[in-house]
């Protein structure tokens, strides 16, 4: 009976050893698979980083004919903010309703209701008629810190075969009444100065 018990124990021990060996082999395969996967992830990360570096190099190659982004000095600008008129790169400049906005003035635009206070017609014969609006906008921002932006509306004059441009200065609704008066006096001053010359 002891011999049967010894044989049974020996079989159990052998089975346990086989089970341990099988588990060790499975653990080894799982570890090898994990290492292989992490190596390919690190290779793809390295590959992605190399691609990003190439892209950054491509973006950072400054073209001497264009300006530089205010926020990223190594990138070319693609346009200006309609409010502050600073130059920004493609990653910074966003467009809403035909208005280009920098990150700083995106919320200014979104948080306000805007209304047009001018609709000055200009033609190829008199393009200077709208210049006072650009000067007034610049004055508002640089001297007073009041945000505004300009949109141009274009109409084709078929009879005379030319394009009319309507220069529209948009201001915050809360500033509309005050600035409508100011732009008229600004326009009068510019016309008087022009007449004196």
Distances (CA, A) of 177 to 83, 111, 112, 172, 174: 19, 19, 15, 10, 8
Comparing 48 with 29, which gets the higher pLDDT?
Answer: 29
Burial code of 18-35, b = ≥16 C-beta within 10 A, e = fewer?
Answer: eeeeeeeeeeeeeeeeee
Domain ranges for the chain, please list them.
50-111, 112-196
For residue 40, the tally of other CB atoms under 10 A from its CB is 10
Top-confidence range, 45-49, 56-60, 124-128: 124-128
Residue 6, pLDDT score: 82
CA distance 75 to 10: 76
Residue 62, pLDDT score: 61
Average pLDDT, whole number, for the chain? 87
Comparing 158 with 46, which gets the higher pLDDT?
Answer: 158
pLDDT in tens, 86-113: 999 999 999 999 999 999 999 999 999 9
Q: What is the DSSP letter of 76?
A: B
Top-confidence range, 2-16, 49-63, 182-196: 2-16
Q: Quickly list DSSP for 102-134.
A: -HHHHHHHHTS-EEE---EEE-TT-GGGGHHHH
CA distance 47 to 45: 5
For residue 101, the tally of other CB atoms under 10 A from its CB is 23
Comparing 13 with 52, which gets the higher pLDDT?
Answer: 13
Total residues belonging to the chain = 197
Q: Assign 159 a pLDDT band (cuts: 50, 70, 90).
A: confident
**Can you list the pairs that 111-116 forms with residues at least 24 positions away whose Cβ atoms lie under 8 Å?**
112/147, 112/172, 112/173, 112/174, 113/172, 113/173, 114/149, 114/170, 114/171, 114/172, 114/173, 115/170, 115/171, 115/172, 115/173, 115/176, 116/151, 116/168, 116/169, 116/170
Residue 101, pLDDT score: 97
pLDDT in tens, 163-188: 999 999 999 999 999 999 999 998 88
Flag the least confident range among 10-14, 98-102, 112-116, 137-141.
Answer: 10-14
Residue 177, pLDDT score: 96
């Amino acid at each position: 009976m002891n011999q049967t018990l010894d044989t049974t124990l020996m079989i159990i021990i052998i089975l346990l050893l086989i089970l341990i060996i099988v588990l060790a082999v499975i653990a080894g395969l799982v570890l090898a698979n994990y290492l292989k996967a992490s190596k390919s992830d690190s290779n793809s990360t390295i590959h992605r980083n190399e691609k990003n570096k190439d892209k950054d190099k491509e973006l950072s190659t400054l073209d001497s004919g264009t300006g530089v982004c205010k926020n990223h000095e190594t990138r070319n600008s693609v346009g200006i903010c309609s409010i502050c008129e600073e130059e920004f790169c493609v990653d910074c400049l966003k467009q809403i309703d035909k208005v280009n906005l920098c990150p700083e003035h995106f919320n200014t635009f979104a948080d306000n209701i805007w209304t047009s206070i001018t609709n000055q017609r200009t033609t190829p014969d008199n393009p200077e008629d709208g210049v006072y609006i650009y000067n007034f906008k610049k004055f508002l921002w640089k001297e007073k810190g009041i945000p505004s932006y300009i949109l141009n509306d274009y109409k084709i004059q078929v009879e005379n075969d030319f394009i009319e441009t309507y220069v529209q200065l948009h201001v915050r609704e809360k500033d509309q009444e005050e600035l409508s008066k100011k732009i008229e006096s600004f326009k009068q001053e510019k016309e008087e100065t022009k007449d004196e010359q």
